[in-house]
Structure 1
Amino acid sequence: MDGVPAAPVAAVLALGANLGDAAATVAQAVRELRNTPGLEVTGVSPAARTRPVGGPEGQPDYVNLVLTVSTRLSPAALLAAAQGIEQAHHRTREVRWGPRTLDIDVITYGEMTSDDPVLTLPHPRAHTRAFVLAPWSWLEPEATLSGERVADLAAQADDAGSVTRVPGGAEDEDAAGPVS
């Protein structure tokens, strides 16, 4: 997990928020990731509005999007960078799948597979979550995850009906404004 790659590695990150101005927070996180040394954002999906999956009842809807990146960071350093941005946005981890100001998950890191409890790759639940899969398929229609088309997995996910595309968004190269 700590090994620095010899060449840049393609990775996929999923971002989501449902507290405060979630759209603005996600757009700001995209800008912060763009400014992370050793990380190049190569694609930003359209944003999605989704119902919460799991966790306590009564949570607000989420704003979610997916980034593709090219990185020279090790998997552990990529995770640390993501968690640093989460912490800058006052992320707390009190309730599993609870409401959050910002969540950044490492979905894939090249072709690496890992059962490490700190960073399991690919993300262990990504293949069942339309809130990750749908935006990813909008960005990369032919993307695959563990050999299956991301778009097909998105259509089969239990939460597929809760994902709606947000007009406008952070996919603009400048990502200067809010997502919605």
Structure 2
Amino acid sequence: MSASDQPKDGKKNPKAGDKAKAAPPRAGGARPAPAGARKGPPGGPPARRAPARAPTSRPRGPREDYPTVQAFVAIGANLGDAEASVKAAMAAIGALQRTTVTARSSLYRSEPVEAEGPDFVNAVVAVRTGLDAEQFLVALQRLETQAGRERPFPNAPRTLDLDLLMHGNSVIDTPTLTLPHPRMRERAFVLKPLAEIAPDKVPRAALARVTGQVVKRIV
């Protein structure tokens, strides 16, 4: 090699085919990646293990794997804050076991029928329930008791009144329960809110017979 072939810095050019020497391993050697760790990029440190996910919990609600029927409940109150009582009753009915409220009527104000006292606030709700008619009636009566319902005499003013109007296609006549409700077609405060959410359940002739009863929608 002539002097002109030498690089100016005095270093020799590497020959073709020479392999670069590998960098010496770190002291102590590479640590094995923990089990379950994701692989990092080549030559880089192993990725950290992904944290375990906490089990998720779904909001509790009515189950959907049991047979249900459609039912209708009339709600009324004329003591205390009647509007608040009716709204609270709607929520309480929806919270019953195996029961879901599917429709709510507006609130209506009506004069007492065959009774004295303040005007009533009324509404009707439609539900899907897995409770049979007797079980559902008992659950409604329990809600009345929790609301402070007392029965000192027939048609007394009340903090909460819950009437089971219909339960599927049930036709029942026992000392404790009659379905469909025997007086529902005589009461405008039942028929008007019921017609609002289920018009197919209220014949026009029935509404015509109660036109003399004063019922006004308020909410």
Please give the range of the TM-score, normalised by the shorter of the 2 chains.
0.7 to 0.9
User: Equivalent residues in 2 for 1:13-162 (5 A)?
Assistant: 13-55=73-115, 57=116, 59-144=117-202, 149=203, 151-157=204-210, 160-162=212-214
SS of 2:185's equivalent in the other structure is helix
C-alpha separation between the residues in 2 aligned to 1:121 and 1:34? 21
SS of 2:200's equivalent in the other structure is coil
The letter of the residue matching 2:218 is: V
C-alpha separation between the residues in 2 aligned to 1:31 and 1:107? 18
The higher relative CO (CA closer than 8 Å, separation ≥ 6) is in 1
1:130–1:155 Cα contact (<8 Å) kept:
no
The letter of the residue matching 2:77 is: A
TM-score (norm 1): 0.81
Corresponding residue pairs, total: 154
Could you report, residue by residue, the CA deviation over 1:62-101 in whole angstroms, capped at 9, with x for unpaired residues?
A: 0000011111001111001101110110001112111000
TM-score (norm 2): 0.67
C-alpha separation between the residues in 2 aligned to 1:74 and 1:161? 33
Q: Which has the larger radius of gyration?
A: 2
| Bigger Cα displacement from structure 2, 38-47 vs 133-142 | 133-142
C-alpha separation between the residues in 1 aligned to 2:170 and 2:121? 28
C-alpha separation between the residues in 2 aligned to 1:97 and 1:45? 23
The letter of the residue matching 1:162 is: V
**CA RMSD, Structure 1 to Structure 2 (Å):** 1.4
Could you report, residue by residue, the CA deviation over 1:100-121 in whole angstroms, capped at 9, with x for unpaired residues?
A: 0000010001111111120100
Shift of 1:141: 2.2
C-alpha separation between the residues in 2 aligned to 1:139 and 1:93? 30
5+ long unaligned stretches in structure 1: 1-5, 168-180
Shift of 1:157: 1.9
SS of 1:161's equivalent in the other structure is coil
Aligned to 2:215: 163
Q: Which runs of 4+ in 1 moved over 6 A?
A: none
The letter of the residue matching 1:132 is: V
5+ long unaligned stretches in structure 2: 1-65
Structure with higher helix content: 1
The letter of the residue matching 2:68 is: P
The letter of the residue matching 1:27 is: K
C-alpha separation between the residues in 2 aligned to 1:96 and 1:155? 27
